[in-house]
Structure 1
Amino acid sequence: MGVPDRFVTEYPARCRQLLDMLEGPARKADLIGSFALLVASAAFNIPFARMVEKAHPLGAPEEKLYDAVEALKKQVFAGAELWDGVKPAFFRYAKIVNSAEDSVHWRDADGKHPLASAESKDANTVLRTIRNALAHGNVVYLDKNGHETAGERLVYLGFLSKHENGDGYRVAIFDEETFLAFLKAWITWLQTFPPERVLFAEAAE
């Protein structure tokens, strides 16, 4: 395998190849949630950082792709274009106003557990919540009740990020199949943007 010509899209495409190769064995072993986290740490976090950080040490992001990501971030996450018209099967977002350590007692400002939240959120907030959770290890395995109960079957993945005001945590919750679907959608969306030199060449023809 050669050095990528364009890392931010080719690397996720290679991750998708590996995803397709290994998804079957992961399903057979009933490890889809853990498998999705393995893929996310690579296929989402690494290219996301390279695309949104203007002062990235390896160079500024491509203008067209940067603008596309910025436009995506302004959309409602559950209806964002990366889903290509298919609504996520299960997704919840909330701000936890009490301690993040005890998932049984997680509550939003209305006193509800995040699984009962109906709050809609922009893609920027959700994507950064996922990014921060993966980067700092703030990922929680949750059972069918939304609780971190040892020995119970994993149903949901919770991604926690400290709120910028310091008064609680943002949490994005997916069931394991929806999170894997998100990763596939993310990788597919990235592939729709040709390198800028290709765009320039096409414009010059």
Structure 2
Amino acid sequence: MGNPTHFSLEVPKRAHQLLRDLYEHLSDSDGTKLPLKATFLLSISMPIVILPIERILKYKRKPSEVHMNDAVLNPKLADAVDRAIDLEAKVNLTEFFTGPWQFASLEKGAGFPNLAADGLPEAVAAQLDSPSAIEDAKNLSANRFCKILRNALAHGGILYLDEHGRSSSSSPVRRFAFVSTNDPRNPTKLHFLRIGMADYRAFLQKWVEWLKTEAIDDILAKDVGLDAADAMDAIVPEEAVKAAAE
């Protein structure tokens, strides 16, 4: 296949295939070389996470905005995305959640720190180290969790962290922190989600599996180039088909 017919489903699938095929061939950071695994993992995750939110959820909730609306291409998938990324329900109840994520927040006070220059504040890192940070992440609404992740990926709110979850220019990258404000118009807090690289990769796999599972009934035939009857033959053993016909 060349041009995707369902951009926010097929491009994340293709990006995840690149992740599976290429990730282990890249070098780890040793503190002296560029952290190619971290950079690749982060880069490849952008279309995986952002596209379903931007081109399905956005238009499912605002159908009048139609210039990039994938929601109409697979209504079953659009409904599933809308239900899963719930405004109130806890994210740990969704099919795409896997952890351990850690959550913390920082009040604006007199002003936000410049994370680009100063890295992750130690006070925030200490919050993220506490056992409650994992429970706080689980208890985020699915909508808030996805907003933090989407906004961080879309706007560069990402920090590379070492194995201890701290900013370090000389240590290998082992974790990420995703940072977003609580309100784009009048921000009063910074939200932080922290996760290890291996756990983030596992989350991406779960996310793509969730999308494919929710969409499979409508896109299976298109994916394998068969009509609906032939597609069912492809997944149902021939013996079962014969038994059902008898």
Which residue of structure 1 aligns with residue 81 of structure 2? 69
User: Which letter does structure 2 place at the counterpart of 1:194?
Assistant: I
For the residues of structure 2 that align with 1:8 and 1:80, how far apart are their CA atoms? 19
Measured after TM superposition, the shift of residue 195 of structure 1 is 6.5
8 Å CA contact 1:76–1:123 kept in 2: the answer is: yes
User: Which letter does structure 2 place at the counterpart of 1:4?
Assistant: P
For the residues of structure 1 that align with 2:177 and 2:96, how far apart are their CA atoms? 21
**TM-score when scaled to structure 2?**
0.69
User: Which letter does structure 2 place at the counterpart of 1:105?
Assistant: E
Among 166, 171, 174, the alignment partner of 1:152 is: 171
Measured after TM superposition, the shift of residue 4 of structure 1 is 1.9
Measured after TM superposition, the shift of residue 65 of structure 1 is 2.0
Q: Extract unaligned runs of 5+ from structure 1.
A: none
Residue 7 in structure 1 maps to residue 12 in structure 2: no
Which residue of structure 1 aligns with residue 24 of structure 2? 24
Specify the SS of the correspondent of 2:71: coil
Residue 104 in structure 1 maps to residue 121 in structure 2: yes
Aligned alpha-carbon RMSD (Å): 2.6
For the residues of structure 2 that align with 1:185 and 1:194, how far apart are their CA atoms? 15
Which residue of structure 2 aligns with residue 194 of structure 1? 216
8 Å CA contact 1:50–1:56 kept in 2: the answer is: no
Task: Flag the structure with higher helix content.
Answer: 2
Q: Extract unaligned runs of 5+ from structure 2.
A: 30-35, 60-64, 222-226, 229-246
Among 148, 151, 160, the alignment partner of 1:141 is: 160
User: Which letter does structure 2 place at the counterpart of 1:42?
Assistant: P
**TM-score when scaled to structure 1?**
0.81
Among 194, 205, 212, the alignment partner of 1:184 is: 205
Specify the SS of the correspondent of 1:53: helix
Give the length in aligned residue pairs.
193
Residue 172 and residue 198 in structure 1: after superposition, are their counterparts in 2 closer, same or farther (change >3 A)?
same
8 Å CA contact 2:6–2:70 kept in 1: the answer is: no
Deviations 1:151-195 (CA, angstroms, capped at 9, x unpaired): 122221000111115112111111111111111111111111137
Measured after TM superposition, the shift of residue 34 of structure 1 is 1.8
8 Å CA contact 2:177–2:193 kept in 1: the answer is: yes
Which residue of structure 1 aligns with residue 236 of structure 2? none
Measured after TM superposition, the shift of residue 11 of structure 1 is 1.6
8 Å CA contact 1:142–1:156 kept in 2: the answer is: yes
Measured after TM superposition, the shift of residue 64 of structure 1 is 2.4
Identical-residue share of aligned pairs (%): 24
Residue 162 and residue 29 in structure 1: after superposition, are their counterparts in 2 closer, same or farther (change >3 A)?
same
